[in-house]
Structure 1
Amino acid sequence: MRRRTFVVSAAGAALATTTPTGAPALAADPLPPSLGARFPGTGRGYWRGGRPRSAFHRHLDTLRAYGVGLVRVDVSWPKSERRRGRARAGHPYNRRLGVVLDAAAERGVDVLVTLHDSPAWARPGAASRDPSARFPEDPEAVRPWAEWLGATYGDRVRAWEVWREPNLPDATGVTGPGERAARYAALLRACSAGLKTGHPGAVVVLGGPRHTDHRFVRDVYAAGARDHFDVLALRPRQDPGAPPGVRQVANFPAVAEVMRAYRDGDKPVWWTDFAAAASAPEDPGALVRPFELARLAHPQIRLGVLAPGVSPHRLAALRDYFQRYDGRRPLL
């Protein structure tokens, strides 16, 4: 297939030149990361009377037509296991997950399941309706549910991401950065052990911190998480509210340096929630450029999962970009 030349912007050149020495070598003409998209298939908006609305299948078909090969689906622990030890595949919420997995398989699409939140019974010391009380008091409380998930759905799930944005206080209920990382590492260990007991082939993803937060990644490694996940996730949302220096894809070399420092430099990295800055909605290449920078400079980055609400012209630009290549990078 004849490939057209893609001109890297000045920002791209800067990113490439800041890649630390010792990074994995790139092929002469490397493939781009694979493309994924978030699909809120377990949410109420897609369902009526226990059956998926027409939009459920229509949206999956649209994503597939644009070249999406993986969808990220969020699964809430409180909704899946309302009472301790009472998770059942026949529960309406868990039935939704089963339908999502079947519908994705019919289209040849992989599924990344993101686990999040904790039920009130797992955090008795907090007010049951407190939205910031997200980590369970005892991290081992998640292990039986994770084992059930692995045994029940493991052969249909490509990978399991443990928690959403665990570097944020409002997603964890923990204000101190050091304590937040340590408690997350304990939760990750318990959840990973449960998933792999239920399904020995389970692929566990370190829950993507919001932004390219190398400090949180460093603290989680320091807390002993290295051997308890197979993929490291990041969520480089390009929004202006991020702390200085960590929100852009250009900060990835700092993350890669942390991984190498803990002898984990070859582990795959996924963007599990990625969006371009909303300040330039008319720019169709705003999502293409980060994928091209990852292709040229960072072989570790294997997947980019688009956040909801990507405009059709940006999706079309991505589709055209991927059509220039004979394939995508393998996820693992």
Structure 2
Amino acid sequence: MARKPRRWQHLAMALLSCVILTIGPASCSSPGSPASAGTPTSPGTAAKPLKTGIAYGDTLVWKDDRDLAAGLDDAVYTGAGWIRVDLAWSDIQPDSATGYAWQGFDRVVAAARRRGLQVLPTLGYVPQWARRDSCASQDSCPPADPGLFARFAAAAAQRYAPQGVHTWQVWNEPNITIYWGPKADPAGYTRLLDAASKALRGTDPSAVVLMGGLAAVHTDPAKGWMSQNDFLAAACKLGATTMVNAISYHPYTYPYLPSARTDFGTPWERISSTKDSLVSVLSACGTPNLPIWLTETGAPTNGPGEAADGPNAASNPTHVTEALQAAIAADAVPAAAADPHVAAVFWYTDRDTGQDADRANNELFFGLRRHDGSPKPSLDAFKAAVKEANPRG
């Protein structure tokens, strides 16, 4: 049975005073307060080459040849040069440490290579036999032995480096409990990262290692969550940022555009525009020039509540209209290109995995295409943005 894509929306915004549907310069403030200073990004202001991609979660390995081809053809159509896909340990060694079931991921890598696409695997998701006893029912719990995970990482690099895969993300959103239980643990993650990065580089000296994509959340001890800043600062003190070539981050801003300027600081603004930004954390720990890869961003177009559709948006929207999703897709690429700290941006995701009957879960509706394969306006909006910001993708 195909897995659902792994991504979780955690953004809790204040009451909305505006939602920007135009693509270009704009500003936005929360109710009863002036707009903060700063010039938002506008299209065509790319100052550097930008890696662009589509993030597919753990979906491609389960598709038949036709749907796999269609999914990857969308990346080619948009001009994106990269795909981000889960390389789940629980898929490769589901039953024991003996043997590897690479066939599904082999198909993805081969199909991507035929299309000239670079592959960014996300290493994670622990098989039951390798989990801690206290977390046996959740494959996103940390392994009991980081060394076993490192052995899996080395085997992956040994297999796929000769096929052109040299960039790896170690884990996904380790600062929230849905992906690292029972609570966020910077020390535990740093031990895992240390073992995995050494294994990857020991196997492939040209390996590029990314820190696990940080979720944009507030610290909440009751939930076991740590904010991206708190987690990064704690991991940095333990040496995590010296173990990687870049960090990765997931700034979902909907219903605001990525280029919006607010007085509360959207997850996108917290990359480098706010006092307590990720860049400020990196500077404080002595790695100010470490690049930031935005390995997920996007917006769902269906959900259990009301959709944000512009100035008349609901105060707590669970999703956005297709028009607003297209505006966000068009804005994300130039916003990323204009920030000198950002090296890559990936849209999540290619195609909805839910239909209207599944609207209780907005997680299923982040696609550039609807469930039936028909394109949303965001598909061509993302394509146009990629072409304008960086013609080579």
Out of 363, 368, 387, the position equivalent to 1:310 is: 368
1:21 counterpart residue number:
none
Separation (CA, whole Å) in 2 of partners of 1:209 and 1:38: 15
SS in 2 for 1:10: coil
Residue 138 (str. 1) matches residue 148 (str. 2): no
Residue 125 (str. 1) matches residue 113 (str. 2): no
C-alpha distance 54-227 of structure 1, shift in aligned 2 (>3 A): same
Task: Report the alpha carbon displacement of residue 279 of structure 1 after superposing the two structures with TM.
Answer: 2.5
Separation (CA, whole Å) in 1 of partners of 2:37 and 2:106: 41
Query: Which segment drifts farther, 135-144 or 317-326?
Result: 317-326
Separation (CA, whole Å) in 1 of partners of 2:121 and 2:327: 28
* Contact preservation (8 Å) 1:207, 1:233: yes
Separation (CA, whole Å) in 1 of partners of 2:89 and 2:46: 43
SS in 1 for 2:295: strand
Normalized against structure 2, the TM-score is what?
A: 0.69
Out of 38, 50, 72, the position equivalent to 1:33 is: 50
Name the structure with the higher helix share: 1
RMSD: 2.9
Percent identity, aligned pairs only, is: 23
Residue 193 (str. 1) matches residue 193 (str. 2): no
Separation (CA, whole Å) in 2 of partners of 1:31 and 1:98: 33
SS in 1 for 2:388: coil
C-alpha distance 260-59 of structure 1, shift in aligned 2 (>3 A): same
SS in 1 for 2:205: coil
* Contact preservation (8 Å) 1:41, 1:56: no
C-alpha distance 245-201 of structure 1, shift in aligned 2 (>3 A): farther
* Contact preservation (8 Å) 2:90, 2:125: yes
1:75 counterpart residue number:
87
Out of 244, 259, 265, the position equivalent to 1:229 is: 244
C-alpha distance 140-119 of structure 1, shift in aligned 2 (>3 A): same
Separation (CA, whole Å) in 1 of partners of 2:37 and 2:210: 25
C-alpha distance 197-258 of structure 1, shift in aligned 2 (>3 A): same
Query: Which segment drifts farther, 30-39 or 62-71?
Result: 30-39
The 5 Å alignment of 1:1-332 reads 7-11=24-28, 16=38, 30-31=47-48, 33-40=50-57, 43=60, 45-46=62-63, 52-88=64-100, 91=101, 94-126=102-134, 128=136, 130-131=137-138, 134-155=141-162, 156-175=164-183, 177=184, 180-211=185-216, 213-238=228-253, 248-253=267-272, 254-276=277-299, 278-283=319-324, 284-296=326-338, 298-308=339-349, 309-311=367-369, 312-325=376-389, 327=391
Task: Report the alpha carbon displacement of residue 95 of structure 1 after superposing the two structures with TM.
Answer: 1.1
Paired residues in the alignment total: 299
Normalized against structure 1, the TM-score is what?
A: 0.80
- Residue type of the partner of 1:82? P
Q: Give per-residue Cα distances to partners, 1:240-274, cap 9 Å, x unaligned.
A: 8xxx9676201112101111112212122111111
Q: Give per-residue Cα distances to partners, 1:99-146, cap 9 Å, x unaligned.
A: 111111111110000011212222352353x12761012322212111
* Contact preservation (8 Å) 1:41, 1:97: no
C-alpha distance 133-307 of structure 1, shift in aligned 2 (>3 A): closer
C-alpha distance 328-123 of structure 1, shift in aligned 2 (>3 A): same
- Residue type of the partner of 1:288? A
Query: Which segment drifts farther, 280-289 or 65-74?
Result: 280-289
Separation (CA, whole Å) in 2 of partners of 1:146 and 1:294: 29
Query: Which segment drifts farther, 101-110 or 268-277?
Result: 268-277
* Contact preservation (8 Å) 1:15, 1:250: no
* Contact preservation (8 Å) 2:190, 2:235: yes
1:25 counterpart residue number:
none
C-alpha distance 15-323 of structure 1, shift in aligned 2 (>3 A): farther
Q: Give per-residue Cα distances to partners, 1:281-331, cap 9 Å, x unaligned.
A: 3222212223323333x21211111112125311212222233356468xx
2:312 counterpart residue number:
none
C-alpha distance 159-44 of structure 1, shift in aligned 2 (>3 A): closer
SS in 1 for 2:293: strand
Task: Report the alpha carbon displacement of residue 276 of structure 1 after superposing the two structures with TM.
Answer: 3.5
